[in-house]
């Protein structure tokens, strides 16, 4: 019965998202609003494309939840955590839709992210308190004031990580899809609630974003979409890692979002060392480096998604077979390897340009 409910939730959320994506895309094109125009600097798509993916995923998730409740197929126990996700998600969509339309100042965007994170943590009472035994000297447990700061920092960091990696079709949404799906498979507590609806809604969006039904029907996430998916991912990780009934360690969450997280941290550090703002746009993301080596956008997408799946399953294996400490130090080694190969790719590109 449970499997049937999960499959039903996925199918309904997929269909709702697919329908809303089609409608929202049509409205955007007809009224010439929320349209992303190509340029020769960072946007290399060949046609004007609607930025309606995020709002469609959000509305698709909400509509599917209420449809299943109305039909009596599924009921979700109401809680402050769920209310906070719905309201904060709506705030993200509304405010960052304006960002997609008129490009808000980067500092203002950051302040909005901090505000939303604070509202969520205080309202839902979802704090990152127990970080696990990371260093082998005992569990790291934060007091509530310190936890408020740390949890807010983590939420904002994850939102920016997924927002910054949203550079090619299917990448940001694909990474979130993988993280939530794997978390749902190994952590049953969440797969029965919002997670399965989000996974289905993302799948409905990917049909358009990947051009499966034709490139003329492309839809992009937009900043509101990437911020929403980053927020939802952070919520899933926080909820799972702090739930005492199920065995999901906070360090395992790092493995599930390793690729966007490490890409974001590396970029910010490089930008600060160059003396430019941490949110200054450039072409130094992992996907940029792979495409500079001659890989197509689709091949680049597959490579990065496979890397994310490898990291996720490695994190799960380390949690199941070993402990937090070994998993954390393995993550440090993985991070060093990630940055080493990323640096090698950059140096190779520079040598090729010099030889040319």
- Whether this model's pTM surpasses 0.85: yes
Helices (H) and strands (E) in the chain, counts: 14, 2
Average pLDDT of span 266-275? 90
Question: Residue 275 — very low, low, confident or very high, per pLDDT cuts 50/70/90?
Answer: confident
CA distances for 233 relative to 113, 278, 338, angstroms: 14, 22, 22
Cα-flanking dihedrals φ and ψ of residue 7, to 5°?
-65, -40
Q: What are the pLDDT digits (tens) for 158-206?
A: 999 999 999 899 999 999 999 998 887 777 655 455 678 899 999 999 9
- Min mean pLDDT across 100-109, 169-178, 187-196, 263-272 is at 187-196
* Three-class SS state of 170: coil
Q: What are the pLDDT digits (tens) for 21-67?
A: 999 999 999 998 888 877 656 555 567 889 999 999 999 999 988 88
Residue 354 has pLDDT above 70, yes or no: no
CA distance linking residue 295 with residue 291, whole number of Å: 5
Domain boundaries defined on the chain: 2-355
Binding-site annotation, residues: 163, 223
Binding-site annotation, residues for Mg(2+): 163, 223
CA distance linking residue 237 with residue 260, whole number of Å: 14
Report, in this order, helix, strand and coil percent for the chain, each rounded to 5.
70, 0, 25
DSSP 72-141: TS------HHHHHHHHHHHHHHHHHHHHHHH---HHHHHHHHHHHHHHHHHHHT----B---SSSSS--B
| Residue 28 CB neighbour total at 10 angstroms | 20
Q: Choose between 262 and 354: higher pLDDT.
A: 262
Question: Residue 355 — very low, low, confident or very high, per pLDDT cuts 50/70/90?
Answer: very low
Task: Say how many residues make up the chain.
Answer: 356
Nearest-CA neighbor of 47 among 217, 170, 213? 217
R_g over Cα of the chain:
20
Q: Is 48 left (phi over 0), alpha (psi -120 to 50) or beta?
A: beta
CA distance linking residue 99 with residue 223, whole number of Å: 7
Which helix (H) or strand (E) segment is 50 a member of? strand 49-50
């Amino acid at each position: 019965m449970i499997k049937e409910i999960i499959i039903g939730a996925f199918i309904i959320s997929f269909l709702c998202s697919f329908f809303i994506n089609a409608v929202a895309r049509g409205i955007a094109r007809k009224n010439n609003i929320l349209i992303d125009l190509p340029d020769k600097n960072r946007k290399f798509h060949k046609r004007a494309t609607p930025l309606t993916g995020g709002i469609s995923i959000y509305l698709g998730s909400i509509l599917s939840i209420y449809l299943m409740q109305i039909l009596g197929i599924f009921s979700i126990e109401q809680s402050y955590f769920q209310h906070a996700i719905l309201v904060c998600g709506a705030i993200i969509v509304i405010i960052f839709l304006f960002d997609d339309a008129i490009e808000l100042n980067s500092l203002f965007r950051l302040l909005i992210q901090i505000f939303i994170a604070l509202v969520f943590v205080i309202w839902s009472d979802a704090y990152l308190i127990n970080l696990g035994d990371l260093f082998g000297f005992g569990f790291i447990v934060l007091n509530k004031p310190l936890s408020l700061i740390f949890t807010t920092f983590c939420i904002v960091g994850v939102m920016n990580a997924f927002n910054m990696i949203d550079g090619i079709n299917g990448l940001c949404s694909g990474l979130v899809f993988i993280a939530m799906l794997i978390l749902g498979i190994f952590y049953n507590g969440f797969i029965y609630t919002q997670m399965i609806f989000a996974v289905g809604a993302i799948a409905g969006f990917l049909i358009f974003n990947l051009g499966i039904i034709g490139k003329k029907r492309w839809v992009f996430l937009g900043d509101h979409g990437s911020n929403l998916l980053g927020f939802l991912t952070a919520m899933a990780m926080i909820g799972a890692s702090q739930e005492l009934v199920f065995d999901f360690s906070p360090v395992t969450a790092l493995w599930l979002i390793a690729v966007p997280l490490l890409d974001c941290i590396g970029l910010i550090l490089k930008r600060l060392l160059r003396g430019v703002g941490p949110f200054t746009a450039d072409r130094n993301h992992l996907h940029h480096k792979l495409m500079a080596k001659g890989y197509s956008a689709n091949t680049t997408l597959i490579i990065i998604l496979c890397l994310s799946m490898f990291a996720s399953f490695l994190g799960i294996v380390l949690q199941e077979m070993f402990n937090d400490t070994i998993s954390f130090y393995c993550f440090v080694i993985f991070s060093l390897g990630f940055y080493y190969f990323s640096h090698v790719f950059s140096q190779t590109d520079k040598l090729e340009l010099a030889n040319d």
